[in-house]
């Protein structure tokens, strides 16, 4: 078998990149893998390459990892291109939370929807489309597997402006599935689930074991344990989660992936208590996000030690990239693999959402590529929410591509968390002042 080249753009990701290399090195096909790493910070890619080759040795693999100082050179001959970029880095994400907060808008994550999600898309869509254009030029048959948020807008930008094969991956739905089964004390053996929607607002359509419908059991457990607006700080998703419970009562289906994500799609949850903390237990979600942003640089000393051999490299299992490896193996071997959730153009997978919308649905991966499973129509109220959101994201993508101030303001104004042209203008202008390098084109 000829070498299969995996190229990682954004190789400085301190968590994802080592995890991907561990998972690749443990694949049964790993001896035939070559990994190319590129990052705008060349030193980061070089450190990761040294770590990667140590990981390969740890797993007794012949996988080779190389760093590149040119994106196009790294992409040449690629079969799979993984994008994990973070335009604006941790500081940009922090500003996506803090700038809207000045206008009374509180977010829990701010990386997908809400004003933070719009601002992030304005930075990321142009960069990811540019990467995809290079892929189309030097490795046109490669698969682009994108992890960068906002996942829906980013994948839509790539599909709209390039012909690259692209799939967006997120671990959230998988985690919700695992947590619900654990809460219900049901072993994950022979359990079939179907989720469908858009990234960070996906809905459990069906859960069963063989012919047994498990939704009544889930409904009973959620009704018994679900929290309320006054719930204490919540750091964990599951059947107790108050926002998910409230949405379940309202729409009749259970949402994924956890309160801190799904709450941002609606206008009524992200309000403050007299104490200054968020209602609905959501302060926990914000605390988790801010902690994660603050820790982004803390792993580099350990990685440098692993690169020079002064710190041992240990085996790691169940990495977030494991799904990417399973997908790659299926595409390489042609042996079908069913994936719980991929983000791809709709094209009828959800019959009552726009065909161009990027949806999160199950898919069969194999000799025929990535084939989304058709799940039919969603309940009208849910499809209304998702259609409105997909159309707002379409405007966001157009704004990002065209450097259009008017479209950017429309995208912000249409977000339920903003809903004010004055706030939209203030947020955009403050974001431009904070990051003129990436957002200066929206100043006029």
Taking the C-alpha atoms of residue 235 and residue 281, their distance in angstroms, rounded to an integer, is: 8
Alpha helices of 102-251 — where are they, by DSSP H? 114-138, 151-161, 172-183, 215-225, 242-251
The residues spanned by each domain of the chain are 4-168+300-318, 173-281
For position 310, what pLDDT does the model report?
A: 74
397: Cα within 13 Å, side-chain hemisphere: 24
Taking the C-alpha atoms of residue 422 and residue 418, their distance in angstroms, rounded to an integer, is: 9
For position 444, what pLDDT does the model report?
A: 78
Residue 336, phi then psi, degrees to nearest 5: -60, 140
Going from the first residue of the chain to its last (444 residues), give the mean pLDDT of each consecutive group of 10, the final group possibly shorter: 88 83 91 94 92 92 95 96 93 96 96 97 98 97 96 98 95 94 95 97 97 96 95 92 97 97 96 93 93 72 77 68 86 94 97 97 96 97 98 98 97 96 98 97 90
Residue 257, phi then psi, degrees to nearest 5: -120, 75
Do residues 281 and 241 lie in contact, with contact meaning Cβ atoms separated by under 8 Å?
yes
pTM of the predicted structure, to 2 decimals: 0.94
For position 349, what pLDDT does the model report?
A: 97
**Which H or E run contains 12?**
none
Query: Environment class of residue 70 by beta-carbon count within 10 Å: exposed (0-12), middle (13-18) or buried (19+)?
Result: exposed
Domain 4-168+300-318 sits in CATH at 3.90.1820.10
The alpha carbon torsion through 54, 60, 61, 66 (nearest 10 deg) reads 10
For position 312, what pLDDT does the model report?
A: 76
Determine the angle formed by the axes of helices 421-434 and 405-413, rounding to 10 degrees: 120
For position 296, what pLDDT does the model report?
A: 60
For position 321, what pLDDT does the model report?
A: 63
For position 12, what pLDDT does the model report?
A: 82
Among 173, 126, 162, 168, smallest CA distance to 147 is for: 168
Residue 371, phi then psi, degrees to nearest 5: -115, 105
Q: Which residues contact 415 (CB under 8 A, 6 or more apart)?
A: 113, 114, 115, 117, 118, 392
Which residues lie across from 145 on neighbouring strands?
82, 167
Among 46, 35, 294, 8, smallest CA distance to 148 is for: 8
């Amino acid at each position: 078998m000829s070498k299969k080249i995996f190229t990682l753009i954004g190789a400085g990701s301190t968590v994802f990149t080592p995890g991907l290399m561990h998972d690749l090195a443990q694949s049964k096909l790993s001896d035939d893998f070559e990994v190319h790493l590129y990052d705008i910070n060349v030193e980061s890619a070089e450190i990761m390459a040294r770590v990667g080759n140590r990981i390969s040795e740890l797993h007794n693999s012949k996988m080779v990892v190389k760093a590149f100082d040119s994106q196009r050179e790294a992409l040449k001959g690629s079969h799979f291109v993984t994008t994990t970029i973070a335009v604006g880095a941790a500081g940009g994400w922090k500003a996506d939370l803090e700038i809207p907060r000045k206008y009374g808008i509180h977010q829990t994550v701010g990386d997908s929807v809400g004003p933070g999600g719009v601002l992030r898309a304005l930075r990321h869509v142009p960069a990811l489309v540019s990467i995809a254009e290079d892929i189309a030029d030097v490795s046109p048959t490669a698969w682009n597997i994108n992890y960068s948020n906002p996942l829906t807008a980013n994948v839509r930008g790539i599909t709209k402006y390039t012909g690259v094969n692209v799939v967006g991956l997120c671990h959230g739905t998988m985690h919700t599935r695992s947590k619900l089964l654990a809460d219900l004390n049901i072993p994950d053996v022979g359990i079939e689930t179907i989720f469908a929607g858009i990234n960070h607002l996906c809905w459990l359509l069906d859960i069963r074991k063989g012919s047994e419908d498990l939704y009544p059991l889930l409904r009973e457990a959620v009704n018994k344990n679900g929290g309320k607006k006054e719930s204490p700080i919540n750091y964990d998703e599951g059947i107790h989660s108050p926002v998910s419970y409230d949405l379940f009562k309202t729409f009749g289906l259970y949402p994924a992936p956890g309160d801190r994500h799904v709450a941002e799609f609606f206008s009524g949850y992200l309000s403050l208590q007299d104490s200054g903390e968020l209602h609905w237990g959501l302060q926990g979600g914000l605390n988790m996000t801010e902690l994660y942003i603050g820790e982004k640089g803390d792993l580099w000393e350990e990685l440098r030690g692993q690169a020079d051999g002064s710190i041992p490299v240990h085996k790691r299992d169940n990495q977030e990239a494991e799904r990417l490896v399973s997908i790659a193996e299926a595409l390489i071997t042609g042996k079908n693999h069913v994936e719980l959730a991929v983000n791809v153009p709709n094209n009828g997978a959800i019959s009552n959402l726009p065909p161009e919308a990027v949806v999160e649905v199950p898919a069969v991966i194999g000799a025929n590529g990535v084939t989304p499973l058709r799940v039919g129509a969603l309940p009208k109220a849910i499809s209304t929410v998702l259609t409105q959101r997909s159309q707002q994201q379409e405007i966001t993508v157009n704004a990002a591509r065209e450097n259009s101030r008017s479209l950017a303001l429309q995208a912000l104004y249409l977000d339920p968390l903003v809903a004010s042209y004055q706030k939209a203008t203030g947020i955009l202008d403050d974001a431009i002042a904070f990051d003129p390098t990436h957002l200066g084109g929206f100043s006029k």
